[in-house]
Amino acid sequence: MAQRRLDEFSISVTKTQEPKAEAPPFTESLEKERKQQGFPPAVLENLPPSYFVSATYDGKAGKVLIKLYEPVSGRIYFWYDNTGHKPYCYTNLSPYDLEKIDRLMKHPGFDHFEIEEKFDPLLEKSVKVTKIVAKDPLAIGGRPKGCIRDIIPEDFTKVATIPLSAESIKVWESKIKYYQSYIYDHGLLPGMVYEVKNGDLVPKRLEEAEKMIQKIVGTFKEADAEELQYIEQWAMLLEYPAPKFRYVALDIEVYSPIPTRMPDPREAAYPIVCVSLYGSDMQKRVLLLKREGVREGSERLPADVQIEYFDSEERLIRAVFEVLWNYPFVVTFNGDDFDLRYLAHRAENHGFKRDEIPIEIGKRVCLLKYGVHIDLYKFFFNRSIQIYAFNNRYRDVTLGDVGRALVGLDKIMLEKGIGELTYTELAKYCLRDAEITYKLTSFEDELVLKLILALSRISSMPMEDVSRQGVSRWIRNFMHREHRRKNMLIPNAEDILALKGKTTTKAIIKGKKYKGAIVVEPVPGVHFYVAVMDFPSLYPSIIKVWNLGYQSILCGHTECQTNLVPDTPHWVCRKKRALESLLIGSLRDLRVQWYKPKSKDKALPPEVRSWYNIIQGALKVILNASYGVFGAETFDLYCPPVAEATAAIGRHAITQIIKRAEELGIQVLYGDTDSVFLKNPSKEQIRELEEWTERELKMGLDVDKVYRYAVFSSRKKNYLGVLEDGSVDVKGLTGKKRHIPIFIKNAFDKMKERLATVKSPADFEAAKKDIIQTIRECYMRLKRREWDSLNELAFNVVLGEEPERYTKTTPQHVKAARILKESGMELKAGDLISFVKVVNDPHVKPVELATKNEIDVDKYVAYLHSTFDQVLDALGLDFDEIIGLTKLERFM
DNA sequence: GCGGACTGCTTACCT
DNA sequence: ACAGGTAAGCAGTCCGCG
């Protein structure tokens, strides 16, 4: 019932009668109109419910600027700070001392001092600090020299009346982006709904969402008051509805005299010959530059595509800019480094005035003066997004691969260079790229934008930042937000490290900082009925249950020193909850107890399920990284003993489970980090194990899945399991690695399909025969050189670095890359190298350059051998025997 | 000069 | 710029070998 009301309500607030603010075709009158209206868009005294989508510091105005997206009109409105908030940092020097620092007092950006009482989480007590308030953010930090944050420790040691070490002079919070600091101080929530009333920015309260939040909070019966507070806070961020977005996908094509070379966007030396725009209002436009000697082309484009020819490039660019002044969201694939950068520089080359260019060029990003630019390349490149949000469905971060994997749409292959295409060929090619970019944004009900919105809410970051930065920044920012909310000083990384930096365990891998998880030696063979039990989000659970955080680990109380982390000398505070423990713990609880199950609940309307699915995905990404960040030097709250303690407790937990399972008479076949694979356990045994874990470890242990049967070799992280429904899990086997030749992969997949049909031990005999057949066939085809194309034999390996930067060794793919480079190919880190193994000297060759006869067939047979060995061992088969038989046959 | 044992580098994977 | 653990293949080194 409540669910339904939520839905109705979201309609009345955000349902945008399909925003109809159409992208107007280029007209000079429209541009005039815009100028008359004035830019930025009129700051209204009153604005209907709108989404906080972006924030920045406007240097000209000297104020924070917040961009609000109003979904009914589909427009962006600007709101400028009217509270007089100013940038600042803290120090432990008194104003009296600070006044002695000449360079500070005379600094043009210095404003005034204030004295504040803050809680110092490392000293575990309240302290008086001086707030140094500045006129502009760059005065605090950001300029290479002469910033307030550097001046203080540099100069005070000289003027101090008593000798002081530089380390004892502290400056805090000087590296926080000003608009973030503003967001935290005003308790603003990016991604949420606001109104402007009499010029003030005020949160919009949505009754139905609020009711839902209370309902959710009510289901957490075991949480204490402090935990409930956090659960409620998160639930608010996650329950408020998302808008329908109005956006346009943009892609440009540039003429290049050398077809294989990408034109440099910083020089923008060549003309932009085509721009495609694909809008959420279903506008599809292709803007083409008229050039001499280019033919029309015979193909036709779909009727709903609007083709526009331009005599001058300048007018074409103006038409594109009109669109960039119009849409609230502009989506590109690599627009930061190419499309927008090129457009902006090309416009400069044409003599456009600065305020005619709607693009703000940064070092690594390109933002829009009006709307929000989302660069999907940056977003999909994010490893956490790739793995956890999209389950590794795409492997290369290219428009073609991501498009193929997520929306079933590939790039158009070109046989010629851009300069040699006819107008229609060029239009088609360019439009397809914009179409893929558009569909990557629109698919599954605008999943990508909604995911970014959800992450923006969780992390308190503008959508642009959240889509470009990594998970450690998201986590850092919500932790910073909570420090400010609780009036805690945000500690400096070096202070945390100096006080709590030591690790004590020894990593198995050379060069790592501490010991990680346990992997159980598998029991080789085929096992029927295998139940996999695991701890749902083990590490976040540990952080919650054990109260882990930089404050609580190795705390100052002697009474807590007996609360030891197993396998380490570290102790954990018993008196006060750590922020991280509360934040991560409450997020975990919400995902496990509410969003994950509800996203699959058929009783809920599909829109709610789909939103919940996005939320649980966003939470998954964050939770999966929430332990790792403590062990990452680049994380602002880096605290190695917290990471070490988490892993140690994890080892303890799985060890206890294994011990208990064996005591219950269950055979443990395998286990990794947070899971145990149990051979044919009874219902009672499972229940006992669950109950024991809950009671003794205070953590949940669930049956994650049940394999009809599983195949283990003696290798860890290598197995194959067939589920009840016949689907097959393949983990770590060479046959699924992406670098292996398709030729071998196909044979492996054939075996996999055959294994999926095996239901009982008796079925195995027939399956084995078929598998033998498959292998023999593959072997014979190799020996007889019967493959369709050399591509089938190509290994595909990613170049981790520029080819020249391999100095220690020269791996095969680098050899191939260097050969390619000699033949004029441009190669950089991240490129995929396809090569085959050949008989003659360097023993590798890029596929493009190789011929059939030089293939080293024996190398491929050896590879086939090792790929299949991982499974054959367990099935009691022997590769050599399989091959040997065929040799015998040939003999007879 | 060559092969085997060994270490280290690199990539791709697992949780 | 989340962590550590594992597999595999190859490059490079060292050592013994009349």
A887 has pLDDT over 60: no
A387 has pLDDT over 70: yes
Alpha helices (runs of H) in A305-460, residue ranges in sequence order: 313-324, 340-349, 376-381, 383-384, 399-407, 423-459
- Amino acid code (one letter) for A686: I
Distance CA A487, CA A726 (A): 55
Q: Is the CB of A383 under 7 A from strand B?
A: no
Please name the residue that has the structure tokens 């441009």.
A826
pLDDT tens track for A646-682: 999 999 999 999 999 999 999 999 999 999 999 999 9
- Burial of A532 from C-beta contacts in 10 A (0-12 / 13-18 / 19+): buried
pLDDT tens track for A475-502: 999 999 999 999 999 999 999 999 998 9
Q: Is the CB of A870 under 7 A from strand C?
A: yes
SS3 A275: strand
Taking the C1' atom of every nucleotide in all shown strands and the CA of A632, the nearest one is C2
pTM of the model: 0.92
A846 has pLDDT over 80: yes
Sequence-separated (6 or more) residues with CB below 8 Å from residue A412 = A428, A429, A432
pLDDT band at A167 (very low <50, low <70, confident <90, very high): confident
Other Cβ atoms closer than 10 A to A97: 18
Point out the residue nearest to B12 (C-alpha to C1'). Answer: A737
A168 has pLDDT over 90: no
Point out the residue nearest to C4 (C-alpha to C1'). Answer: A516
pLDDT band at A26 (very low <50, low <70, confident <90, very high): very low
Sequence-separated (6 or more) residues with CB below 8 Å from residue A448 = A374, A376, A379, A440, A441
A2 has pLDDT over 70: no
Q: Please compute the mean of the pLDDT values over residues A572-580 and round it to a whole number.
A: 97
Return the pLDDT at A41: 62
Other Cβ atoms closer than 10 A to A139: 24
pLDDT tens track for A393-447: 998 899 999 999 999 999 999 988 888 999 999 999 999 999 999 999 999 999 9
pLDDT band at A10 (very low <50, low <70, confident <90, very high): very low
pLDDT band at A517 (very low <50, low <70, confident <90, very high): very high
Among chain A residues 749 through 808, which have CB within 7 angstroms of nucleic chain C?
808
Return the pLDDT at A157: 75
Q: Is the CB of A635 under 7 A from strand C?
A: yes
pLDDT band at A40 (very low <50, low <70, confident <90, very high): low
Other Cβ atoms closer than 10 A to A125: 9
Return the pLDDT at A841: 81
pLDDT tens track for A820-842: 988 888 888 888 999 999 988 88
pLDDT band at A143 (very low <50, low <70, confident <90, very high): confident
Taking the C1' atom of every nucleotide in all shown strands and the CA of A512, the nearest one is C4
The residue among A56, A69, A165, A149 whose CA lies nearest residue A104 is A149
Q: How far is CA A661 from CA A213, A696, A705, A708, in A?
A: 39, 14, 17, 20
Q: In angstroms, how far is C6 C1' from A721 CA?
A: 19
Task: For the sheet with A193-197, list strands across it.
Answer: A75-80, A63-70, A47-58, A193-197, A200-203
pLDDT band at A35 (very low <50, low <70, confident <90, very high): low
**Cα A101 from chain centroid (whole Å):** 44
Angle at which helices A640-663 and A493-500 pack, to 10 degrees?
A: 50
Return the pLDDT at A880: 85
SS3 A60: coil
Q: Is the CB of A732 under 7 A from strand B?
A: yes
- Burial of A852 from C-beta contacts in 10 A (0-12 / 13-18 / 19+): exposed
Q: Is the CB of A809 under 7 A from strand C?
A: yes
Ranked by mean pLDDT, the top range of A33-47, A67-81, A154-168, A251-265 is A67-81
A5 has pLDDT over 80: no
Among chain A residues 157 through 176, which have CB within 7 angstroms of nucleic chain C?
none
The residue among A443, A243, A270, A400 whose CA lies nearest residue A328 is A243
User: Which bases of chain B are contacted by protein, using any atom under 7 A from a CB?
Assistant: 8-15
Q: How far is CA A133 from CA A152, A172, A745, in A?
A: 14, 13, 63
Q: Which percentage of chain A shows pLDDT scores above 70?
A: 94
Q: Please compute the mean of the pLDDT values over residues A838-851 and round it to a whole number.
A: 89
Instruction: Quote the radius of gyration of chain A (alpha carbons, Å).
Output: 31
Return the minimum-mean-pLDDT range out of A19-28, A262-271, A406-415.
A19-28
Taking the C1' atom of every nucleotide in all shown strands and the CA of A737, the nearest one is B12
Q: In angstroms, how far is C2 C1' from A627 CA?
A: 7
Other Cβ atoms closer than 10 A to A604: 18
Return the pLDDT at A282: 93
Return the minimum-mean-pLDDT range out of A448-457, A464-473, A550-559, A803-812.
A803-812
Contact A177, A87 (CB under 8 A): no
Q: How far is CA A665 from CA A91, A116, A660, A679, A689, in A?
A: 61, 62, 9, 10, 11
Among chain A residues 162 through 221, which have CB within 7 angstroms of nucleic chain B?
none
